[in-house]
């Protein structure tokens, strides 16, 4: 196995252990620096870990994010039934399985408090925003309502992520004036 990977894996376990023991994130960062791993990787390990206390305090947002995923899965099924003639039975089955698998993958990631899943959801939601406005000139009310629902879902997911991972800016650890900053 690659030596750097092993060092990073061991450091991840140490970081999680210290954070679980109640040591402040800034203190963990200062303890771990200078051990052969880049400071940015250490800061990323600290920032991407949702402590059990944070997870418990903000469990309602996690469950809300999972509920949003299942709502979007149901909306995907409704859209799938609307395209039944175009896809055929086999196409509906394939697309339906893909919708379920992707939805369950996101739900699993949110349940496990995976920063990566939150980030992927946010990026994919932002990427599909322009296509959500297609047809606005023909049906402004229905397209506007769907667009606003998407914006609300995206905002709720982003808010849940900010509560679970307060040390993350956009997609990396917070860095102010050249120093990594952590919330304790």
Residue 140 has pLDDT above 80, yes or no: yes
Residue 2 has pLDDT above 70, yes or no: no
Distance linking the first and last C-alpha atoms of the chain:
35
Residues with Cβ within 8 Å of residue 33, at least 6 apart in sequence: 39, 42
- Tokens (6 digits) for 95: 């697309």
Residue 122 has pLDDT above 90, yes or no: yes
Residue 104 has pLDDT above 80, yes or no: yes
Q: Pick the more confident residue, 103 or 3.
A: 103
Confidence band, pLDDT 50/70/90 cuts, at residue 25: confident
> How confident is the model over 63-90, as pLDDT tens digits?
998 998 898 888 888 888 877 778 788 8
pLDDT given for residue 17 in this prediction:
87
Residue 170 has pLDDT above 70, yes or no: yes
The 3-class SS string of the chain reads: CCHHHHHHHHHHHHHHHHHHCCCCHHHHHHHHCCCCCCHHHHHHHHHCCCCHHHHHHCHHHHHHHHHHHHHHHHHHHHHHHHCHHHHHHHHHHHHHHHHHHHHHHHHHHHHCCCHHHHHHHHHHHHHHHHHHCCCCCCCHHHHHHHHHHHHHHHHHHHHHHHHHCCCECCCCECEECCEECCCC
Confidence band, pLDDT 50/70/90 cuts, at residue 40: confident
Cα–Cα distances (Å) from 142 to 59, 135, 161, 177, in that order, read 32, 9, 29, 46
Residue 3 has pLDDT above 80, yes or no: no
């Amino acid at each position: 196995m690659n030596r750097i990977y092993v060092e990073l894996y061991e450091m991840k376990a140490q970081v999680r252990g210290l954070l679980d023991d109640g040591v402040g994130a800034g203190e963990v960062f200062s303890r771990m620096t200078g051990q052969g791993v880049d400071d940015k990787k250490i800061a990323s390990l600290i920032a991407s870990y949702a402590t059990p206390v944070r997870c418990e305090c903000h469990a309602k947002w996690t469950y809300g994010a999972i509920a949003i995923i299942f709502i979007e899965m149901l909306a995907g099924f409704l859209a799938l039934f609307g395209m039944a003639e175009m896809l055929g039975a086999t196409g509906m089955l394939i697309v339906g399985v893909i919708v379920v698998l992707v939805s369950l993958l996101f739900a699993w990631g949110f349940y496990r408090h995976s920063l990566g899943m939150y980030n992927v959801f946010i990026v994919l939601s932002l990427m599909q925003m322009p296509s959500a406005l297609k047809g606005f000139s023909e049906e402004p009310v229905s397209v506007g309502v769907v667009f606003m629902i998407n914006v609300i879902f995206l905002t709720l997911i982003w808010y849940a992520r900010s509560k679970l991972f307060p040390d993350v800016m956009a997609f990396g650890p917070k860095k102010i004036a050249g120093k990594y900053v952590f919330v304790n």
